[in-house]
Amino acid sequence: MRWKWGFGVLIAFTAVAAADPSAESGDDDATWLAVVRQTPFWESQGVAENLATIRTWVLLSQSYCQEPQRHLLFDHRGQFLSYIDNGASPSETIERLNQTRKQLAEKGRASYWHPGADDRRGYPLALACHQPFVDIQEATARLLGKGEDYRVWGTWDGISVGTKNDRVSLVELFRVVYEHRREQGRFTFPDSVMSSFLGKTIIESGAQKNALSSKAARGIMQLRPEVLDDCEIPQAFRLHRMAQVDCALRLVEQNHRNLREPFEATFGDLPDAKRERLYGLLLTQAYQIGVGRTVQLLTDDELGRAARYFAEHHTRFSAEDIQVGMIYHNVGREDIGLRTLYYVTDIRLAQQALCATEGMTDHAWCAD
């Protein structure tokens, strides 16, 4: 089965007061990115919670997204404003969105409105409820081995899990691989990372063995060929779930060893619990954008401006606000795009959904 990233397009939050609503010509992305650059750092306060609310409705089909054929509209801080029922065609849906945008501005609920089109982002921002390629409930069932087809057994590099007649869940597979390598002294990253690691599996592959992304990332852990090469995984075993988990955890360890020192140099003065929470979020982010780019967000003269501001004023922001703010204020730089903006938030939501299920509420990895 071919997996597609199908969470819909989430348009990033913007400080719209700095934008020129009449600027409809030219490079729309350039106009939008100019607005991002003018957004003050302090506007990140509370945005992570707003973003999580919107993404929860979409990913879990809740609230206004219980009816999937809808779009949500929200402002530059992620605050919900309204919704529309989709039209009979994409063009009719766009027309309805633009009509609602205009009404919101006329009623003073939005600072201004800007029409959207097939190739242009509108304001207030819009997000589709319908996400045909994501099913957190089904992916969670796969991880927990709720059906016989979802249970596994096998061996890999001296590690064994389950038997042909006594198969286990994917969560158990993760535990066995992780604890085996940790006992060998190969892993030093915090235990708390593992619940995010499970959430990442839900978001990236739906816990499907044969998942394949448009960028050639393969398997349950969505590993690219060059990463599988680095892990020396033979071609015949590249979709082997134990091999994939082992390789992905090695990547987390590599990221941890490279990220910890620059992180401490920037955020070492944060209170312990908040510092470790933020570190886990950024270590999760590093899996998607690479540890090199994550380090740049901490150390680079330009990319690190947001991090330095948040470190100085950390009492005003949650760990989640800081992580979202570091990404938002650098969208458009170093290949940091919109998917990156909500990647960690979606993983947190998947992790929370998993840890709320029967059998996981008391699991060591779900302790928070």
Whether pLDDT at 24 is above 80: no
Mean pLDDT of 136-152: 93
CATH 3.40.50.300 fits 136-366, yes or no: no
pLDDT confidence of residue 262? 98
What is the domain partition of the chain in residue ranges?
16-128, 136-366
- In three-state secondary structure terms, 159 is strand
pLDDT confidence of residue 125? 84
* Residue 211 exposure: Cα atoms within 13 Å on the Cβ side: 26
Report if pTM > 0.75: yes
| Whole-angstrom distance, CA of residue 310 vs CA of residue 306 | 6
pLDDT confidence of residue 35? 64
pLDDT confidence of residue 133? 74
Mean pLDDT of 146-156: 94
Select from 330, 345, 361 the least CA-distant residue to 281.
Answer: 345
Note whether 98 and 68 are within 8 A (CB): no
Whether pLDDT at 114 is above 90: no
pLDDT in tens, 42-96: 999 999 999 999 999 999 999 999 999 999 999 878 889 999 999 999 999 999 9
Whether pLDDT at 21 is above 80: no
Q: What is the dihedral of CA 59, 248, 271, 77, to 10 degrees?
A: -30
pLDDT confidence of residue 135? 87
Q: For a pLDDT cut of 70, what percent of the chain falls above it?
A: 90
| Whole-angstrom distance, CA of residue 199 vs CA of residue 301 | 32
pLDDT confidence of residue 112? 82
pLDDT confidence of residue 180? 96
Question: Which residues face 123 on adjacent strands?
Answer: 114
CA 128 to chain CA mean position, Å: 17
pLDDT in tens, 199-252: 999 999 999 999 888 778 899 999 999 999 999 999 999 999 999 999 999 999
